[in-house]
Structure 1
């Protein structure tokens, strides 16, 4: 009898052990949706949650910006950790200059952070150095417009998830122009319209006030003119090709020379004393100029200088369009990260989570995700809505954003210095062209 009891007990114990093992096995598979999201993104990664395996993960992250951005980002990181307790962060945040001074060293030593903020002016450079992870397998359908994604790809790959909408346009002092009886800048105006507006404004405005400033010493303004009129960007193919269209350059610079001669724009010494966003020295904020270039991010500062007076229009256009409208700030993942899938999941979460959206607000501009912006819109101030408006008016005719190519900082500095000499009539426009074209071609040759 005792023997029979022991046999039954052994059978029962075996059954219990098998049942417990089976439960453990099922628990590991069903884990949670997090365990699925840790798979490669092409098979469903890129969901907004990282692996919930329970294994602690520390993601290092680095960004630049003002204090408001730092505080908002830290708050968002706390929200992520609350939602994903096994993920902690090692944050590092600095000013713009400090970020770009430090990043080359981190890239060279292969110690870049898992996640890092990236800018359109530098993303190609770091992508071509193989320091950034390809994020093409992230599913961003319904979050980011497919055309935006395609415009941002480098050699067919996506190296940064766009964070915000950004655009270049023209801000103008609406009530002062109306009071002077000057027709307001119109949507899709041309460069010829822009220069005609300047002449009309000078005729009708009081002494010491101008319709436009002299931007002949700013390389990006000239590039907008060149590309709007069908020319190539100044630097293309990663800087291997340099194109300074002589006919367009001479026409643009001669136009400004005539405007200076006729006192349609301020004298050179006054132009060089302007300081954007300074209450007394900002060209438009000070009341001296009726228009000023502005982006989605910068127009809000101008509205604070001139509350209720600022309206916006797109950049002057040509046969090819004009200005640009696209994201210029991203979150990227280091190619050397040991936590790539967790980093990818976090990057997607950053632009999709409603709670994160509320915490981040507009600290990186108009959110790229329309649902996040829609949730924020009722709380936005007029200065914030102007940022959205400048993006909306720029879209129709927008050209791609053409950043400074790697190695061309010297050329950009030389352009400014050279054209300022021209502004003071100390050098001919022809000589300026020869000098700038020669240097550009030399840099392009070194880049090949």
Structure 2
């Protein structure tokens, strides 16, 4: 009997050992599905695989991969699989992943898509990780609340941005213009555009419709969306006509490029500012350094147009890092986000390219290391902070459809296929049909 009992005990011990070995071999990435196979914790030596996705320029891709490599040297049990593309292609890839509930563990997201994904329960609330996996000691409440939606925060603000006109003084001079006035107005802008056109130079590549129409509305005390997010925030369609009519006239006159010309631009390297055939670009401050590096000449940032520039201008989260609600490794994903935001070595690689850092400590750490162009960005954002107004609430669910309508109609307007008055009416109809679903 004793021998028999001993055999049973040994058999049970062997079975337990085999079970433990089998469980250990399944940790981390499932080789068949490529998905995380079951741990929510990044502690110890247990293998963990994260998927991470972002959009951006080639320069952003390269330094982001270096940051990931740095994280992996400090966390050798973690593997991070990367997915990246330019802006438009990125969202084309993300959409089917969202439909299949297979979003990356960590995904870069902007304000336009934020409510669409967070509002539909596809992103994890980061609040439980604040003060734990994500150190928020040196981050202001305002910066954290940039990702607030309802009762949760579904995206970590990676940096703050400000709008401006980024231009090449050499091309401006070639266009026959000495300088841009300090507090320039729409009249100044249109006059400079006409002068540049006489000398065979475009003024710019246009203003991104959903971003700059929102700015223009703020300058006259209105908003693109109402407070409830179920309708437009302005009633007078003449505001649409005034703004987009001016821009369409620039295209019609040849002072700004046609949509066909713009469609040939696939990246910053193709930008006409880089080629010296365009004075500058209206865009976010975090895009300045990449543009300047491509131009490879001294550049400047001019403020937004008056009247109402201070009311129109705002500091915006450049973008967020969010965690998929379906991630099996949320804590490790949160730890990586913390590393990206708070680690000094990592930020010496990032150097504010995704926006001026939200950590006050990191901001001070970087100052001695910044190039003149990066100093320009930090200084412009600091100036904007003192010359701007609070940001509007996060774009509501349906904003992407609204933006698609706006983009399509303004392209038709720039092609001369529709009048500004008809475009304004059609935009209101299409936007209201989308937004009324939020009631």
TM-score for both structures, normalised by structure 2: 0.73
Other structure's SS at 1:367 match: coil
Change in Cα spacing, 1:68 to 1:256, as seen in structure 2 (3 Å) is closer
Given candidates 184, 187, 195, the residue that maps to 1:195 is 187
Change in Cα spacing, 1:197 to 1:210, as seen in structure 2 (3 Å) is farther
Does residue 337 (structure 1) correspond to residue 333 (structure 2)? The answer is: no
Q: Hey, what's the Cα distance between the residues in 2 that align with 1:89 and 1:278?
A: 29
Q: Hey, what's the Cα distance between the residues in 1 that align with 2:270 and 2:83?
A: 30
Q: Hey, what's the Cα distance between the residues in 2 that align with 1:105 and 1:206?
A: 43
Does residue 393 (structure 1) correspond to residue 383 (structure 2)? The answer is: yes
Q: How does 1:274-285 map to 2 (within 5 A)?
A: 274=262, 282-285=271-274
Number of the residue aligned with 1:252: 243
Contact 1:117 1:329 in 2 (8 A): yes
Contact 2:171 2:277 in 1 (8 A): no
Number of the residue aligned with 1:155: 150
Does residue 233 (structure 1) correspond to residue 224 (structure 2)? The answer is: yes
Change in Cα spacing, 1:339 to 1:181, as seen in structure 2 (3 Å) is closer
Change in Cα spacing, 1:360 to 1:234, as seen in structure 2 (3 Å) is same
Q: Hey, what's the Cα distance between the residues in 1 that align with 2:146 and 2:326?
A: 25
Change in Cα spacing, 1:237 to 1:272, as seen in structure 2 (3 Å) is farther
Q: Which moved more, 1:205-214 or 1:333-342?
A: 205-214
Other structure's SS at 2:316 match: coil
Given candidates 300, 303, 306, the residue that maps to 1:314 is 303
**Cα RMSD over matched residues?**
3.8
Does residue 294 (structure 1) correspond to residue 283 (structure 2)? The answer is: yes
What count of residue pairs does the alignment treat as equivalent?
A: 389
Question: What do residues 34-74 of structure 1 show as CA deviations (whole Å, max 9, x unaligned)?
Answer: xxxxxxxxxxxxxxxx9786351514131124555445444
Other structure's SS at 1:241 match: coil
> 1:254 Cα deviation (Å)?
4.6
Change in Cα spacing, 1:308 to 1:104, as seen in structure 2 (3 Å) is closer
Contact 1:52 1:84 in 2 (8 A): no
Other structure's SS at 1:242 match: coil
> 1:276 Cα deviation (Å)?
5.6
Number of the residue aligned with 1:37: none
Q: Hey, what's the Cα distance between the residues in 2 that align with 1:331 and 1:214?
A: 29
> 1:182 Cα deviation (Å)?
4.2
Contact 1:278 1:285 in 2 (8 A): no
Contact 2:42 2:329 in 1 (8 A): no
Given candidates 226, 245, 261, the residue that maps to 1:273 is 261
Q: Which moved more, 1:147-156 or 1:91-100?
A: 91-100
> 1:217 Cα deviation (Å)?
8.1
Q: Hey, what's the Cα distance between the residues in 2 that align with 1:150 and 1:253?
A: 32
Number of the residue aligned with 2:19: none
Larger radius of gyration: 1
Other structure's SS at 1:337 match: coil
> 1:246 Cα deviation (Å)?
1.2
Given candidates 156, 160, 166, the residue that maps to 2:161 is 166
Q: Hey, what's the Cα distance between the residues in 2 that align with 1:347 and 1:228?
A: 35
> 1:160 Cα deviation (Å)?
1.5
Contact 2:207 2:282 in 1 (8 A): no
Q: Hey, what's the Cα distance between the residues in 2 that align with 1:113 and 1:328?
A: 20
Contact 1:325 1:401 in 2 (8 A): no
Contact 1:153 1:159 in 2 (8 A): yes
Structure 2 residue runs without a partner (length 5+)? 1-39
Q: Hey, what's the Cα distance between the residues in 1 that align with 2:116 and 2:224?
A: 17
Structure 1 residue runs without a partner (length 5+)? 1-49
Number of the residue aligned with 1:25: none
Other structure's SS at 1:315 match: coil
Contact 2:340 2:346 in 1 (8 A): yes
Does residue 54 (structure 1) correspond to residue 50 (structure 2)? The answer is: no
Other structure's SS at 2:388 match: coil
> 1:98 Cα deviation (Å)?
5.2
Question: What do residues 314-369 of structure 1 show as CA deviations (whole Å, max 9, x unaligned)?
Answer: 22254462233222322222333343334333322321122322344455444333
Change in Cα spacing, 1:426 to 1:143, as seen in structure 2 (3 Å) is same
